[in-house]
Structure 1
């Protein structure tokens, strides 16, 4: 009996001890739960702060985007106004230049009319008229050259000959394909305009005038044009009409020289042909190709003869038969108007046949 009581007491003590342990565990759990609740509350506050910060950042981004958009709109309008003003200035300059050309041409017509009605005084004033005609011719050609130089679109132009458009592709797409596959241009060349020749065909295709955005792009295209050797395609600069005619005559002369001496080194640079190192130009007065030194000597002799003639005319004051004054001023201001039978067209067709190459400075190598 005593043993059973002792055992029961031990059991009760153990139970009390376990109850205390359980109470301690429950207390610890409650503390941990309170700690977790505090952490959860802190996380909730942190989340709210982050959400508020994100919202504020979004508002700042929207504000910055709006400011950037407004500033871009202002700059775009400013650039548009500047572009419009520049175009208007260029247009006014071209119009004033053309008016000056027309005025000079009208003056020339008036001079010719006066000469025809005053045949008895022709010898006395012939030298002055000749000088005026030469001056007018020089001024007109100079003004036309200035117009061509002022037109930035022409300055960045190149002309493609012998290009055939593939099915499903327009002229610009065809040119871009040539840039990529045949000229091996690794970057995109910006093309602002593509224009075909008006009614002109050279060996079954129309010349294609390509206006590039920058002069650097034009130089790069001309530099890579040697890669077109052996094809039916040729690239040239968009030269003024007078230079084209000079180059056509120089090209014919170069072919004759090359035929007579196949080993000679020929190079056509703008309006000069270099035979080895000796320059030649086309003389409009003699209608022939002459060495530069010879042309300068002839011009000096002509000026000396003209001076002697003026002196003798004023001294003797004798009448002479009427001299015809040849009109040498071109009234055509459209530099893209290639005639069907023009020397430039015949030159291009010959060069396409003989594969004359152009380098980056408008030079033709006839080797």
Structure 2
């Protein structure tokens, strides 16, 4: 039982005693004293009323303290919630610049290669095999040691600083077929779920309007010039008001 509930119960008990004493006063026809240390009914009622008022004051203090604590908790929680939402949003957006590279061999003489070695191997593929001679910047390059091997080695997760660099790798990924290297987008779990919902729309469009050009850009579906997203808040697919023209449009702006 909480403090507030205990105080309320005490007030109810005191009020019941007052009512009982009032009934006694009405029913008595003489000045008989009740056995409470020689005090008459009026004195006892007066004392009880004083105690009730004190209890009510204590109750108001407890409720005020509770409201203050609750208000501080709500304020603190809302700040954390907003910060976590912002952080998750930033993390999810960073996945949009990420790719998984399969088939880049790791050193056979060591179980775990150094990060510098992994970056050097990725740069070599970009420069030698994809003819991307400029200095490509990365947020992170990590070989993923958990999970099974694929194409004889562990995959590498590459997060590019520029979204355009990632898109260029995707456009040129067919150039890596003869190197037995595969490239695919490294999507977050939430993005995969959004894309799965959009795949249903793409199948419907393709079956009814086969002349339409449909393709994915991360977790967005492009149908000719229209851009569709899956809204997790409403659990519905929505068409964005903006249209996409040409291959230079950055979909992160949508």
In the superposition, the TM-score normalised over structure 1's length comes to 0.33
Which is higher, the Rg of structure 1 or of structure 2? Answer: 1
- Relative to its length, the structure with more strand (as a share) is 2
- Identify which of structures 1 and 2 has the higher relative contact order when contacts are C-alpha pairs closer than 8 Å and 6+ apart: 1
Greater fraction helix: 1
